[in-house]
Amino acid sequence: MNRRRSIRAALAPAVVGIGALLCGAGGVRAAPVTVQVTAGGGAPAVDAVVVFEPRDRVPPPAHADAIIDQIHKRFVPHVTVIRTGTSVTFPNSDRIRHQVYSFSPAKVFSMKLYAGSPKRAVVFDKPGLVVLGCNIHDTMLAFVLVVNTPYFAKIPASGTASFDLPPGRYSMRVWDEALAAPVPARPVVVAAAPLQLSIALDLAGTHDPVAAWP
Amino acid sequence: MLLRTRIAVTFFLLVAAVLATALAVVSAANRHNAEREVGRQLDVGARVFMRAMETNREQLTQAAQAVAADYAFKEAVALRDTDTLASALQNAGSRLGAAVEVLTTLHGRVLAASGINIKPGMTFPLARLLRARGVQEGNSTIMVADGRIYQLVAVQVRSPLPVAWVVMGFALDTKAARELAAPTALALTMSVRSGSVWTTPITTVPDGGARRGELVTRSITLVKRPRLEVVATLSRSLTAALAPFERLTRVLYLIAGASLVGSAFAAFWLARNITRPLRQLTDAVDHIRGGAYDVPVSIHRRDELGVLAEGLQVMQRAVSTRDQAIRRLAYDDPLTGLMNRTAFVEALTAALGAASAGPVAVALINLHRFKRINEHLGFAVGDAVLVKIAARLTAPPAAGAAVARLNADQFALFAHLPPGADATAWGLALQSRLAEPAVVHAQPLDVHATIGLATAPADAAVAEDLMRCADLALEFARREKRAFAAYLPTLTPSARDQLSLLGELRRALDADELRLYFQPKWEISSRRIAAAEVLLRWQHPARGLLGPGVFLPFAEQTGFIRQITRWTLDRAAAQGAAWQKAGVALPLAINVTVDDLADTGFHLSVARALEHHGLDPALLTLEVTESGFIDDPKQALRMLQALAALGVKLSIDDFGTGYSSLSHLAHLPVDEVKIDQSFVRQFEADPEVAAVVRSAIDMGHRLGLRVVAEGIETESAAALLGGMHCDLGQGFLIAKPMPLAQFESWLRGRDRVAALAVPAARADVAGASGSRRRRAIKVFPA
Ligand SMILES: [Cu+2]
């Protein structure tokens, strides 16, 4: 999975960028926050997800769209972070058919066996981690992390993600599919000054991605 | 131990050892083969067992995977629909015949279960293993629960991340064990260690473990954990594996036993076959050692024993031949091939022992003229004559008869006569057979045979006696100048006969029946008469004129010879004195015996006779035989010296026949030696005898003695003796002994009486050449 991170990294800034744009629309001056996430040995934990949840307010649901493609019997991207209420379409770029399903409590669904683009998108209306599979191909796996905040990012190859956060109190949560247990949420107070944070993840244990996002 | 036993036992033991070794090797090989076979079976069994376990695992894995991959099942897992899950599991397991189907969380908490006494919510016994990934997906493992053993396979349920374990398993119970072991014909035992306690819940070994000691096993550890160990043990009964070999071994033992018995018989048969001929050979050898050479050795074999038997036969014949040759030498006369005396006496003894049927006649045959044939025609002719006579005596061969040559010219013959047969007729027939002349080299030769006959049992019963009787008859025949005489009892001088003979001799002296006979001694060189020897004859009133052999030996035996000698001395002295007065000085010699010399008054008798008749002592010669010195040489010497002192001449008679006293000759006061006629008769033919005679003459001369040769019968002998310078001769060539009247007329007719050339006196010679004489004495006996 780590090997795939370089591909997904190209899309990640765009998602963060949208979040920042939405925040800036509130008219409040935001402060730059950078988070560096490393795995064992100081290597960048690519595709790890960093989420800042405001502790003082609940952001309204978004009505956004997202696409998770299926290319060469793989979900692309492998990890997707979306705001609650986002509609995700699952186009099939393969010539074979796939049957996407999820038994995760945050979103249980099963699409009919299909090829090409499905007729309708799936709306992820509850926050939580959703594990996607294909009933035909056991090896196909994808994670959709549904969050109630616009402030989230996937760690790119540089190992550092940048946020523009309005001042306030936040809980910073980090998730990686290779984690064995949840990383405790970290309270972060954002003032006007830039903030630089770093987290080292322990990815050595038995992977339990579901347990890592309670 | 007997050779037979030894051979048999050795053979038997050898066979037994070979059989025992063979059986031991076969048994060991059988056991080895059986063990190897069992080992091979166990290897195969272990492989089969492992493959069966693998097949189980594959079946379980496929079933579990089928369940785990089912979307509805995944959905049921996601929904925790326990009942649905349990039925789904049971459904999948029953298709396979699985004994246990369990669904657990990834942490081992049971979500649903079937076929095993586990409820949802419980922790699965292998939870820790599952949690710790000790169980690889699709690998089989072993679980022991409630005393039962299970082979389990665990497969994860993914949706799509692993969310649960589907565990399916077969029970390894007795039935399964039988099924597992069935293709291999092996027994399967499952042993379980819980903690440190071993149990054996499952076994297909018959009779439990009673015969465990004879089992060969192969253990396969199915699982080994700190608190649990399960071992599957495949086993095979070695006894059972050996069973076919044991049947073979029993057959082998049977064959070995039969072989042993057979070999025992064969061994004894073989041993007997070898030792029986050996025993026969031994017996034969014993017989041969006993002197029997005609023992049949009837062993006809082509092996070494046959060769040995044949060799023994050949040896027997060779020994027999040689024995016969030796016997011939010992018992036969080599010239004629006839028996010699020893053999003849033996044969006669045997014949007398066997002669119960009729009389046995014995004839002694003397060839009267044989000596003359030898002398005149040579020994070769003589031998030829003997052979002819022998042939005549043996032909025709008569049963129970035997012929022998006893000495030079004497044969002996005996024969069984039919009962009542006339022995005299047989003897006369024998005589007529010998009367014909023997023809040698186409020259007929008269052989005058004289035969003396005796018959058993009439004349004697013992061989020696019978032969003596025949000898007496022969003697009688010769004396009577007859060709044949049969034995008469009167021929044997009995004790009474001897007494009467003594009486007759006394009477003969008184009645003047003895006669003096004279035989001249003549000078060889001139043939002139030099002296005369006085001899005696007995004019018996009944038996006629008897020679001295008839009565003188008897007289000597009885001692009556002294009277006879004195009578002779008296008469000879008288006659000598008569001739002396008549002017004929003829020296007379009379014989003197041992008895006379032993008579200490003998010289006085001589002196009295000389004086009484007035005879010159020099004209009287006393002839003494050498044997006269043997009994008492000192006395004899004293007497001779006394006689010499009288002036009479002394002569040694029969010179050369008794060497023992020759050493005394030099000391004896003798004047003359007389060479015995036995020498003179042989010396012409035998050079050795001639040498002896020559030596004797030389010897006598060296001692200063006159030498007289007796028994001269031929001119050639006379000439030869003349050549040897013998002084005087005596013998038929000139004259036989003659009575007085005849002798006197003979003397007158020849007018040969001469004055004797008496050799130089002894004393002179002794004085002149004593040393020479001694040397000569030494030489003579050689
Ligand atoms: Cu697919």
Residue of B nearest to A139 (CA): B160
- Residues B276-311 as b/e (b if ≥16 CB within 10 A, e otherwise) read ebbebbeebeebbeeeebebebebeeeeebeebbee
Amino acid at B4: R
Residues B766, B746 contacting (CB under 8 angstroms): no
Contacts of B139 (CB under 8 A, 6+ apart): B57, B153
Strands B728-729 and B484-486: unpaired
Question: Do B486 and B605 belong to one domain?
Answer: no
Residue ranges of A 134-163 with Cβ closer than 8 A to chain B: 134-135, 138-141
Question: Do B526 and B440 belong to one domain?
Answer: no
Which of A133, A139, A206 is nearest residue B159 as measured by Cβ atoms? A133
Mark which of B436, B459, B492 sits at the end of a domain: B492
> A103, A107, A112, A140: which to substitute to probe chain B, counting the most B Cβ within 10 Å?
A103
Using a CB-CB distance cutoff of 8 angstroms, which residues of chain A are in contact with residue B158?
A: 133, 138
Strands A195-200 and A69-71: unpaired
- When computed from its CA atoms, the radius of gyration of chain B, rounded to whole angstroms, is 68
Q: How far apart are CA B147 and CA B721, in angstroms?
A: 154
Between the CA of B741 and the centroid of ligand 1 the distance, in Å, is 197
pTM here is: 0.48
Question: Do B526 and B471 belong to one domain?
Answer: no
Residues B140, B48 contacting (CB under 8 angstroms): no
Mark which of A86, A114, A147 sits at the end of a domain: A147
Look at residue B323 in the predicted model and tell me its pLDDT. 79
> A99, A101, A210: which to substitute to probe chain B, counting the most B Cβ within 10 Å?
A101
**Is B160's CB within 8 Å of A141's CB?**
yes
Q: How many CB atoms lie within 10 A of CB B193?
A: 17
Cα of A106 to nearest chain B Cα, Å: 13
Contacts of B232 (CB under 8 A, 6+ apart): B49, B188, B189, B190, B191, B219, B220, B222
Q: Is the peptide bond before B120 cis (omega within 30 degrees of 0)?
A: no
Cα of A62 to nearest chain B Cα, Å: 28
Q: How far apart are CA B215 and CA B733, in angstroms?
A: 134
C-alpha closest to that of B284 among B320, B316, B317, B314 = B316
Using a CB-CB distance cutoff of 8 angstroms, which residues of chain A are in contact with residue B76?
A: none
Which of B69, B133, B159 is nearest residue A103 as measured by Cβ atoms? B159
Question: Do A71 and A137 belong to one domain?
Answer: yes
Question: Do A98 and A75 belong to one domain?
Answer: yes
Q: Does residue B434 lie within any of the structural domains?
A: yes
Q: How far apart are CA B361 and CA B453, in angstroms?
A: 7
Q: Does residue B549 lie within any of the structural domains?
A: no
- B21-58 pLDDT, tens digit per residue, is 988 888 888 888 888 888 888 888 888 888 888 998 99
Residue of B nearest to A135 (CA): B71
Q: Does residue A191 lie within any of the structural domains?
A: yes
Q: Does residue B546 lie within any of the structural domains?
A: no
Q: Does residue A210 lie within any of the structural domains?
A: no
- pLDDT of A30 over the 90 cut: no
Question: Do A181 and A81 belong to one domain?
Answer: no
Which of B69, B78, B133 is nearest residue A103 as measured by Cβ atoms? B78
Look at residue B495 in the predicted model and tell me its pLDDT. 52
Q: Does residue B301 lie within any of the structural domains?
A: no
Residue of B nearest to A142 (CA): B160
Tokens 């994808």 sit on residue: A142
Using a CB-CB distance cutoff of 8 angstroms, which residues of chain A are in contact with residue B74?
A: 103
- pLDDT of A121 over the 60 cut: yes
Question: Do B454 and B561 belong to one domain?
Answer: no
Using a CB-CB distance cutoff of 8 angstroms, which residues of chain A are in contact with residue B160?
A: 131-134, 138-141
Residues A103, A93 contacting (CB under 8 angstroms): no
Residues B35, B238 contacting (CB under 8 angstroms): yes
Question: Do A40 and A86 belong to one domain?
Answer: no
Question: Do B21 and B119 belong to one domain?
Answer: yes
Which of B69, B160, B163 is nearest residue A140 as measured by Cβ atoms? B160
Contacts of B133 (CB under 8 A, 6+ apart): A206
What are the tokens at A74?
């793989």
Give the three-state DSSP class for A181: coil
Q: Does residue B165 lie within any of the structural domains?
A: yes
Interchain CB contacts (distance < 8 Å): A and B: 27
Q: Is the peptide bond before B183 cis (omega within 30 degrees of 0)?
A: no
Bridge partners (DSSP) of residue B536 are B516
A1: pLDDT confidence band, cut at 50, 70 and 90?
very low
B275: pLDDT confidence band, cut at 50, 70 and 90?
confident
Residue of A nearest to B133 (CA): A206
C-alpha closest to that of B532 among B738, B685, B337 = B738
Between the CA of B705 and the centroid of ligand 1 the distance, in Å, is 180
Q: What's the CATH code of the domain at B344?
A: 3.30.70.270
**Is B69's CB within 8 Å of A140's CB?**
no
Which of B75, B133, B160 is nearest residue A131 as measured by Cβ atoms? B160
Question: Do B478 and B525 belong to one domain?
Answer: no
- Residues B589-621 as b/e (b if ≥16 CB within 10 A, e otherwise) read bbbbbbbbbbbeebbebbbebbeebebebebbb
Residues A209, A189 contacting (CB under 8 angstroms): no
Contacts of B111 (CB under 8 A, 6+ apart): B77, B80, B82, B85, B103, B104, B105, B120, B164
Contacts of B245 (CB under 8 A, 6+ apart): B30, B31, B33, B34
DSSP letters, B349-395, are HHHHHH--SS-EEEEEEEETTHHHHHHHH-HHHHHHHHHHHHHHHHS
Give the three-state DSSP class for A43: coil
Between the CA of A140 and the centroid of ligand 1 the distance, in Å, is 6
Compute the average pLDDT of residues B125-136. 77
CA B118, chain centre distance (Å):
111
What are the tokens at A114?
């299909």
Q: What domain range includes position B729?
A: 517-537+556-775
Residues B388, B373 contacting (CB under 8 angstroms): no
Q: How far apart are CA B193 and CA B199, in angstroms?
A: 6
Q: How far apart are CA B297 and CA B29, in angstroms?
A: 53
Using a CB-CB distance cutoff of 8 angstroms, which residues of chain A are in contact with residue B71?
A: 101, 135
Contacts of A101 (CB under 8 A, 6+ apart): A109, A110, A111, A132, A133, A134, A135, B71, B159
Using a CB-CB distance cutoff of 8 angstroms, which residues of chain A are in contact with residue B161?
A: 131, 141, 209-210
Contacts of A103 (CB under 8 A, 6+ apart): A131, B74, B75, B78, B159, B163
- A78-115 pLDDT, tens digit per residue, is 999 999 999 999 999 998 989 999 999 999 998 887 77
Question: Do B451 and B560 belong to one domain?
Answer: no
Q: Does A22 touch chain B (CB under 8 A)?
A: no
Residue ranges of B 71-130 with Cβ closer than 8 A to chain A: 71, 74-75, 78
A171: pLDDT confidence band, cut at 50, 70 and 90?
very high
Question: Do B626 and B527 belong to one domain?
Answer: yes
Tokens 């023997």 sit on residue: B438
**Is A131's CB within 8 Å of B159's CB?**
yes
What ipTM is given for this predicted complex?
A: 0.80
Residues B545, B565 contacting (CB under 8 angstroms): no
Q: What's the CATH code of the domain at B560?
A: 3.20.20.450
Mark which of A147, A167, A187 sits at the end of a domain: A147
- pLDDT of B380 over the 70 cut: yes
Q: For a pLDDT cut of 70, what percent of chain B falls above it?
A: 90
Amino acid at B225: R
What are the tokens at B208?
């439990």
Compute the average pLDDT of residues B446-460. 82
Using a CB-CB distance cutoff of 8 angstroms, which residues of chain B are in contact with residue A132?
A: 160
Q: Does residue A46 lie within any of the structural domains?
A: yes
- Alpha carbon distances (Å) from A129 to A35, A125, A142, B731: 22, 12, 10, 189
- The number of C-alpha atoms within 13 Å of B545 and in the hemisphere containing its C-beta is 7
Question: Do B570 and B627 belong to one domain?
Answer: yes
- Residues B9-33 as b/e (b if ≥16 CB within 10 A, e otherwise) read bebbeebeeebeeeeeebbeebbee
How many degrees, rounded to 5, is the angle at CA B211 between CA B210 and CA B216? 135
Look at residue B357 in the predicted model and tell me its pLDDT. 60
Strands B738-739 and B514-523: antiparallel
Q: Does residue A3 lie within any of the structural domains?
A: no
Q: Does residue B276 lie within any of the structural domains?
A: no
- What is the number of structural domains in chain A? 2
Look at residue B758 in the predicted model and tell me its pLDDT. 36
Question: Do B453 and B561 belong to one domain?
Answer: no
Q: Does residue B81 lie within any of the structural domains?
A: yes
Using a CB-CB distance cutoff of 8 angstroms, which residues of chain A are in contact with residue B75?
A: 103
What are the tokens at B338?
């006839």
Mark which of A147, A167, A183 sits at the end of a domain: A147
Between the CA of A92 and the centroid of ligand 1 the distance, in Å, is 9
Compute the average pLDDT of residues B188-216. 77
Between the CA of B633 and the centroid of ligand 1 the distance, in Å, is 173
| Residue B662 DSSP label | G
Question: Do B613 and B761 belong to one domain?
Answer: yes
Look at residue A89 in the predicted model and tell me its pLDDT. 92
Residues A127, A148 contacting (CB under 8 angstroms): yes
Residues in chain A: 214
Residue of A nearest to B157 (CA): A138
Q: What's the CATH code of the domain at A128?
A: 2.60.40.420
Question: Do B448 and B524 belong to one domain?
Answer: no
Residue of B nearest to A103 (CA): B78
Residues B55, B140 contacting (CB under 8 angstroms): no
Contacts of B243 (CB under 8 A, 6+ apart): none
Using a CB-CB distance cutoff of 8 angstroms, which residues of chain B are in contact with residue A135?
A: 71
- What is the number of structural domains in chain B? 3
Which of A103, A138, A140 is nearest residue B75 as measured by Cβ atoms? A103
Residues B78, B150 contacting (CB under 8 angstroms): no
Residue ranges of A 62-101 with Cβ closer than 8 A to chain B: 101
Q: What's the CATH code of the domain at A42?
A: 2.60.40.1120
Q: What domain range includes position A51?
A: 18-59+150-200
Compute the average pLDDT of residues A134-154. 92
Q: Does residue B58 lie within any of the structural domains?
A: yes
Mark which of B238, B254, B277 sits at the end of a domain: B238
Question: Do A120 and A172 belong to one domain?
Answer: no
Which of A131, A135, A206 is nearest residue B71 as measured by Cβ atoms? A135
Which of B133, B160, B163 is nearest residue A138 as measured by Cβ atoms? B160
Q: How far apart are CA B326 and CA B282, in angstroms?
A: 25
Question: Do A132 and A75 belong to one domain?
Answer: yes
Using a CB-CB distance cutoff of 8 angstroms, which residues of chain B are in contact with residue A108?
A: 78
Using a CB-CB distance cutoff of 8 angstroms, which residues of chain B are in contact with residue A113?
A: none
Please report the beta strands in B195-238, taking only residues with DSSP state E, as ranges in sequence order. 197-203, 215-224, 228-237
How many degrees, rounded to 5, is the angle at CA B645 between CA B642 and CA B649? 100
Residues in chain B: 782
* Range with the poorest average pLDDT among A145-154, A185-194, B265-274, B541-550: B541-550
Q: How far apart are CA B690 and CA B680, in angstroms?
A: 8
Mark which of B214, B238, B262 sits at the end of a domain: B238
Helices B82-96 and B71-79: crossing angle, nearest 10°? 140
- B747-771 pLDDT, tens digit per residue, is 887 654 443 333 333 333 333 333 3
Q: How far apart are CA B35 and CA B38, in angstroms?
A: 5
Start-to-end Cα distance in chain A: 21
- B690-740 pLDDT, tens digit per residue, is 888 888 888 888 888 899 998 898 888 899 899 989 999 998 888 889 998
Between B158 and B358, the more confident residue is B158
- Alpha carbon distances (Å) from B3 to B7, B265, B266, B301, B604: 6, 16, 15, 20, 90
- B388-424 pLDDT, tens digit per residue, is 888 888 876 666 778 888 877 888 888 887 777 777 8
Contacts of B298 (CB under 8 A, 6+ apart): B280
